Amino acid sequence: MMEVNSSLAKDKAMENIMKMHPDLRAVVEKCDGQLDYMVKTIATRTRNLETTERTIAIYILPLKIDADGINDMEEAYDMVRRLRMSMDIHPTAKINMVLGENLNSDYIRKICECIFYGTDINITLVTNKEKPKSTTKPRGRPTTGK
């Protein structure tokens, strides 16, 4: 379950999700901070004014993350297992899993490999790590001599 004032809600990734889906914040507040997942239908228009609809499901798995990135793995396993069971209700072929800042992605990757073994579900783990800056300077425009 999710608490609105938890450290996960203050995480940058969670705030980005709240900005992309503002109705999610209203649902969380209406449910007194207790939410497992939410289903939303998005309509998109093309140039020919044809409207296509797609349904997305937003799953919230709040984990308490230590400063070292080590958590209670049994709790993490149970949450990912509940995610897999709830996907039977809303089947999907792709999951983007946003991980917290200090969470070691290797733990969640191995848990997902165990739980989603034998399925055709594509799982992408998204982290908040900063992109490394380029070590080389950009080259200027080549000049011709006189």
Residue 145 lies in a domain: no
* Measured distance CA(113)–CA(104) in Å, rounded: 15
Give a yes or no: residue 34 inside a domain: yes
Q: Does residue 133 lie within any of the structural domains?
A: no
pLDDT at 106: 84
pLDDT at 9: 42
CATH of the domain at 16: 3.40.220.10
- Note whether residue 89 is domain-resident: yes
Torsion angle defined by CA atoms of residues 72, 31, 13 and 121, in that order, rounded to the nearest 10 degrees: 70
For 8-41, how does the pLDDT look when each residue is reduced to its tens digit (9 = 90+)? 444 566 667 677 767 666 666 666 555 556 666 6
- pLDDT of 3 reads 39
Give the pLDDT score at 75. 76
pTM: 0.54
Residue 84 CB partners (closer than 8 Å, separation 6+): 115, 116
Per the domain annotation, does 52 fall within a domain? yes
Alpha-carbon span 91 to 84, nearest angstrom: 10
Classify residue 1: in a domain, yes or no: no
Range of the structural domain that residue 37 is part of: 7-126
In the chain, which residue ranges form alpha helices assigned H by DSSP?
Answer: 7-10, 12-20, 22-30, 73-86, 105-115
pLDDT score recorded for residue 22: 72
Number of domains observed in the structure of the chain: 1
Asked, for residue 146, whether it belongs to a domain, the answer is: no
Low-confidence stretches of the chain (pLDDT < 50) are 1-10
For residue 117, tell me if it sits in a domain: yes
